[in-house]
Amino acid sequence: MDNPALHVICLCAAWCGTCRDYAAVMDTLRAEFPALRFSWVDVEDQADVVDPVDINDFPTLLITRDQQPVFFGILRPQADALRRLIQTQLDDAPVPLKDTEALCLAQRLRDV
């Protein structure tokens, strides 16, 4: 069976040191999961896309499966934690989030 279209989006800010740590984590996991999409979105540089969602805590991750949000929350830059989260999304059939904000944001970010 083909992998679902999973997109891992890190919503961060360039000035945030914790966010910058995510670059290495995402590079590692990109190599482990080459069929998946990984994106970095600077919430200040791309405010026109991220708004009206107010991202207050960094780093915030949005994970979509087949363009439907399945995770939207804070996750520190720990490769093992993100790996487990990704694997869960691949192994299970998670129910898409009902959060309207996350759904609208996922639609705006589908091409990043």
Question: How many whole angstroms separate alpha carbon 87 and alpha carbon 73?
Answer: 17
What's the pTM? 0.86
Q: Which of 26, 8, 13 is nearest to 73 (CA)?
A: 8
CB 106, CB 64: distance < 8 Å:
yes
CATH class of the structural domain 6-109: alpha beta
The domain segmentation of the chain, as residue ranges, is 6-109
Residue pLDDT, tens place only, 31-87 = 999 999 999 888 888 888 887 787 777 888 999 998 899 999 999 889 999 999 999
Cis peptide bond upstream of 59, omega within 30: yes
Strand partners, 7: 37, 64
- Strands 60-65 and 68-74, bridge-based pairing: antiparallel
